[in-house]
Structure 1
Amino acid sequence: MIGLVLAAGAGRRLRPYTDTLPKALVPVGPEGNEDSLTVLDLTLGNFAEIGLTEVAVIVGYRKEAVYERREALEAKYGLKITLIDNDKAEEWNNAYSLWCGRDAIKHSVILANGDTVHPVSVEKTLLAARGDGKKIILALDTVKSLADEEMKVVVGPEGGMTKITKLMDPAEATGEYIGVTLIEGEAADELADALKTVFETDPQQFYEHGYQELVNRGFRIDVAPIGDVKWVEIDNHEDLAKGREIACQY
Structure 2
Amino acid sequence: MIGLVLAAGAGRRLRPYTDTLPKALVPIDAKTSVLDLTLANFASVGLTDVAIVVGYAAEAIEDRRKELESRYGVTLELVYNDKALEWNNAYSLWCARDLFGQGMLLANGDTVHPVSVEHTLLEARGDGRRIILALDAEKPLADEEMKVIWSAEKGVERITKLMEPADATGEYIGLTLVEPAAAEDLADALRTTWERDPNLYYEDGYQELANRGRRIDVAPIGRVDWVEIDNHDDLARAREIVCPS
* TM-score grouping bracket, smaller chain normalisation: over 0.9
SS in 2 for 1:106: helix
The one-letter amino acid paired with 1:15 is R
- 1:35-88 CA distance string (max 9 Å, x none): x20000000000000011200000000000000000000000000000000000
Deviation of 1:157 (Å): 4.0
The one-letter amino acid paired with 1:73 is L
The one-letter amino acid paired with 1:241 is A
Q: Aligned equivalents of 2:156 and 2:148: distance in 1? A: 7
Counterpart for residue 174 of structure 1: 169
Work out which of the residue numbers 118, 142, 165 in structure 1 matches 2:137: 142
- 1:17-51 CA distance string (max 9 Å, x none): 0000000000112xxx3xx2000000000000001
Q: Identical aligned pairs, as a percentage?
A: 69
Counterpart for residue 69 of structure 2: 74
Q: Aligned equivalents of 1:248 and 1:99: distance in 2? A: 34
| Contact 1:159–1:223 (CA under 8 A) maintained in structure 2 | no
Measured at CA, do residues 143 and 155 of structure 1 come closer, stay the same or move farther in structure 2, by a change above 3 Å? same
Counterpart for residue 2 of structure 2: 2
| Contact 1:150–1:166 (CA under 8 A) maintained in structure 2 | yes
Q: What value does the CA root-mean-square deviation take over the aligned residues?
A: 0.8
The 5 Å alignment of 1:45-56 reads 45-56=40-51
Counterpart for residue 23 of structure 1: 23
Work out which of the residue numbers 172, 194, 200 in structure 2 matches 1:205: 200
Q: Aligned equivalents of 1:248 and 1:84: distance in 2? A: 31
Counterpart for residue 246 of structure 1: 241
Which structure 1 residue ranges, 5 or more long, are not aligned?
A: none
Deviation of 1:248 (Å): 2.4
Check if 1:86 corresponds to 2:74: no
SS in 1 for 2:120: helix
Measured at CA, do residues 127 and 157 of structure 1 come closer, stay the same or move farther in structure 2, by a change above 3 Å? closer
The one-letter amino acid paired with 2:2 is I
Deviation of 1:247 (Å): 1.7
SS in 1 for 2:99: helix
Counterpart for residue 191 of structure 1: 186
The one-letter amino acid paired with 2:4 is L
| Contact 2:154–2:215 (CA under 8 A) maintained in structure 1 | no
SS in 1 for 2:85: coil
Q: Aligned equivalents of 1:241 and 1:153: distance in 2? A: 26
Return the TM-score normalized by structure 2.
0.98
- Deviation beyond 3 Å, 4+ runs, structure 1: none
